[in-house]
Structure 1
Amino acid sequence: MITVVHGASAVIGGRLADPVANGDAVRIDNGVIDRVGTSADLLALPHDETIDAAGGVVIPGLIDPHTHPVLGDFTPRQNTLGWVGAHLNGGVTTLISAGETHWPGRQRTPIGAKSIAMAAAQSSLALRPGGAKLHGGALLIEPGLTEADFDEMERAGVRLVGEVGLGSSIDPRDIRESIEQARSRGWVIPMHVGGASVPGSHVVAGSLVAELRPDVVSHANGGPTARPLAEIVSAIESTDAAIEVVQAGNTRALVDIVRHLDSEGLLHRLQFGTDSPSGTGIMPLGILRSIAYSAAFGGVDPVSALCCATGEVAARYHLDVGVIDAGRPADLVILDVPLGGQGSTALDSFTGGDVPSVALVMVDGEVVAFPSRMTPPPTNRPVVAAAH
């Protein structure tokens, strides 16, 4: 099946170094992006199906790198089923676990941590809820894990560390060895920074970031309680870690952090997440809303913010998604001005503080939401048609 998506007002490439693609159309061949170009050129090539974007903004599928699944799209703490499919309707095509913290009866022991990570990783390998790509099984580090434990987890598909600080100890003497084991294997290491999130979790100050040097400062704006901005600025200055802001955190802190990163020329370190499901709720539009806050209140260019939520985070987590370029999976989203909204494109919606309409979602070249059931309808609905 060859599909041509054409008639976009802009095609966002997904990387800050080259944020806007040169063209208004994308050709997809059997689920993989074949090329980006002009509508006239790509429609002249053989194809089976067309999708007229009707002036919408075509972006890579959004990535939520801060979710807390348990098994697939079931999370018992919130008694929620189907939340991953809801995220998909918020334009999120890839979700990454930051730790299965809501696992019932979670044992804070080496064998408990290892068992949960392996079970969740194996589960996510076999599940594509609604078509979304879920990367589960993030190890919540406990003192006493051995190299043999890491070997076993790696064989089971574990490649992620959950938020450091959600285990039984935050003492560097207890957890440094496991962090280095994970780091040597290329696993991405996020660290909980902020107040306690759930019963049994810890308050983690920014000073621990400089000591343990994680890859990601998780919910720098609080999950849900923020630390003082001076602590976060110190963490920014003392490391090269990604600085994550989440919808489930402190909104004022989110704005302060994105303003600081933008003013210092550090947007390449900005990461968006939802930190959901959590006590704050299920947040299908959390990534889009955080981008809107960053643009409307933080002054961040929405194109740059969209790149931070797609290709930049994909590169950080060693994923092949998040970029609109030849050879990449065709995970695409068409955004438009919501019906009754202001501005001429979805980029104007972000700048004005609105969440744009998710007009169409595609995963591996297959349309999985048209339009979204989670956003207002688009002002201009895309048109899907067979080739004549």
Structure 2
Amino acid sequence: MRVALVNIGRIVTGDLAAPFATGDAILLEGGKIAALGSLTAAEVAAADVVVDAAGTTAMPGLIDSHVHITFGDYTPRQKVVGFLESYLHGGTTTAITASEVHVPGRPKDPAGVKALALAAAACFRDYRPGGMRVHAGSIILEPGLTEADLAELRSAGIWLAKAGFGAFPTPYDYAPLMRAARRLGMVTTMHTGGSSIPGSSGIWAEHVLAADPTVSFHVNGGPVAMPEEGFARLVHESSVAMQLCTAGNLRTALLTARLLDEAGQPERLLIATDTPTGSGIMPLGMFYTITHLASLGGMPPERAIAAATGNNARVYGLNSGMLAVGRDADVLLVDACAGGSKDDALSAIANGDVPAVSAAFTAGVPRFVGRSRNTPAGIRGVRVAECRLPMDFSGGGH
């Protein structure tokens, strides 16, 4: 499918090094961004679908790097079906599992946790709820697992490893397996902060420094923050990516962002939700944290967007998260909400307003155009201007 987005007001790339792109059009083809900036009349005419962006802002689809995936589009924690598809209507086009710890009666023996990771990954290999891309299957590190076990999983396609819910005597005991996982090329993640569910324990800066994960999960608390002095330690004594979550402590989220900014390392800042949990279902959680950083923390909106898109993509090795030729064609058109005080998406975000999601495209396919069911309408009317795809409503295939 070839989709042309025209009449774009502004292009936010998700790339900290070059947060804006010039031009007013994007061409999506074969699941990738084929052209960015300007399109010829012939390129537009050759498109299967032409979407008039009506002056709205184009940005990458959001990457939520902390979602409690189980099996299918279901969360047993909140007993809700369809939450991932709903998150897509909040602008999240990619979800990354925080490990399948919410599976009822989850196994804790080596064979069981290996099977759980493999089954979860297989469940989402060809399943895209609402069009969302889901990276599932993270091995939960438990006593008894060996480097050979991790190597077996890595060869089977598992590339995520999680520390924080295993039955180790102390959090320091995760370090050998975490280092082994890193050697095998896995992205390693570690619960940070106080206890989040029964059976878990507090993990503080000293534990994270000893394990040296790729990502410090919900560093601002999931939902309880670690002791205050730990934030500066993680910033200055490590290169760990520091993930802020909507379901965490807002004050320490702003503190973390400020410390990384002062250290000149904004690329280490990641945004996620840490949901569904006891905090609930948050289809707009990613945008809430973006607006908190911009309106309360003084962060430029384009940098806050990068923390939710390009920064996550870089740390997790994904091809999405940035608007550039050759990147995955996961794109949002966003706007200021009708009835608000601002007249464009970035101004609304800086004001603390969640923007209207007026269209979402994943893998180059329009998932909805006009408005999201989870945000107010935008002030501009995004529409499908032309559609040359064959449509058959005869029901002959039934």
Residue 101 of structure 1 aligns to a residue whose secondary structure is coil
Q: Aligned-pair RMSD on alpha carbons?
A: 1.7
Which 10-residue stretch deviates more, 22-31 or 231-240?
A: 22-31
Moved more, 216-225 or 110-119: 110-119
Tell me: CA distance 1:176–1:255, structure 2 relative to 1, closer, same or farther (3 Å). Answer: closer
Relative to 1, partners in 2 of residues 1:374 and 1:119: Cα closer, same or farther, differing over 3 Å? same
Residue of structure 1 equivalent to 2:191:
192
Structure 1 window deviating more from structure 2 (261-270 vs 200-209): it is 261-270
Partner amino acid for 1:334? L
Query: TM-score, normalization: structure 2?
Result: 0.93
Asked if the contact 1:288/1:355 (under 8 Å) is kept, the reply is yes
Q: Which residue does the alignment assign to 1:332? A: 331
Gaps of 5+ in 1: none
| Secondary structure, counterpart of 2:28 in structure 1 | strand
Give yes or no for contact 1:98–1:161 (8 Å, CA) kept in 2.
no
- Residue deviations 1:201-222 (CA, integer Å, cap 9, x gap): 1111111122111111111110
Partner amino acid, structure 2, of 1:292:
T
Structure-2 change in CA distance of 1:387 and 1:101 (3 Å): closer
Distance 1:19-1:75 versus aligned 2 partners, 3 A rule: same
The residue aligned with 2:310 is 311
Distance in 1 between residues matched to 2:78 and 2:28, nearest whole Å: 38
1:284 offset after TM fit, Å? Answer: 0.7
Aligned to 1:14, the other structure's residue is in SS state: coil
Farther-moved stretch of structure 1 (145-154 vs 70-79): 145-154
- Counterpart residue number, 1:161: 161
| In structure 2, distance between residues paired with 1:260 and 1:350 | 22
Map of 1:352 onto structure 2: 351
Match of 1:252 in 2: 251
Post-superposition offset of 1:232: 1.2
Of 289-298 and 1-10, the range deviating more from structure 2? 1-10
> What is the alpha-carbon distance in structure 1 between the residues aligned to residue 197 and residue 171 of structure 2?
21
For 2:177, give the aligned amino acid: S
What is residue 392 of structure 2 aligned with on the other side?
none
Structure 2, unpaired ranges of 5+: 389-398
Distance (Å, rounded) in 2 between the aligned partners of 1:18 and 1:173: 39
User: Contact between 2:118 and 2:158, CA under 8 Å: does it hold in 1?
Assistant: yes
Q: How does 1:125-140 map to 2 (within 5 A)?
A: 125-140=125-140
| 1:121 match | 121
- What's the offset of the Cα at 1:40? 6.2
Aligned ranges 1:250-329 → 2 under 5 Å: 250-329=249-328
- CA offsets 1:41-84 (integer angstroms, 9 cap, x no match): 78666333211111111011110000111112112122121110
1:149 aligns with: 149
Tell me which residue corresponds to 2:33: 33
Structure 1 174/344 Cα, relative in aligned 2: closer, same or farther at 3 Å? same
Q: Is the CA contact (8 Å cut-off) linking 1:137 and 1:160 kept in structure 2?
A: yes
The one-character-per-residue Cα deviations of 1:73-124 (angstroms, maximum 9, x if unpaired) are 1121221211100110111000001111111111222122212111111111
Aligned equivalent of 2:15: 15
Distance apart, 1:228 and its partner CA: 2.8
Cα deviation, 1:180-209, whole Å, max 9, x if unaligned, reads 221112111111110100011111111112
Offset at 1:384?
A: 0.8
Q: Distance in 2 between matches of 1:244 and 1:47?
A: 39
Q: Is the 8 A contact 1:27 1:33 kept in 2?
A: yes
Question: How many angstroms apart in 2 are the aligned matches of 1:45 and 1:241?
Answer: 47
Partners of 1:69 and 1:126 in 2: CA distance: 15
Q: Deviations over 1:225-263 (max 9, x none)?
A: 112332111111110111111000011221222222223
Amino acid at match of 2:223: P
Q: What is the percentage of aligned positions where both structures have the same residue?
A: 39
Q: Does 1:103 align with 2:100?
A: no
CA contact (8 A) 2:107 2:113 kept: yes
Name whichever of 33-42 and 181-190 sits farther off.
Answer: 33-42
Counterpart secondary structure, 2:244: strand
Tell me, yes or no, if the aligned pair for 1:4 and 1:42 is still in contact at 8 Å. no
Cα-to-partner distance string for 1:117-138 (whole Å, 9 max, x where unaligned): 1111111113111110111111
**Partner of 2:236: helix, strand, or coil?**
helix
- Retained in 2: the 8 A contact 1:193–1:218? yes
**Structure 1 Cα separation of the partners of residues 319 and 169 of structure 2:** 33
Q: Distance in 2 between matches of 1:172 and 1:339?
A: 49
* CA shift for structure 1 position 152: 3.0
State the distance in 2 between where 1:40 and 1:126 align: 35
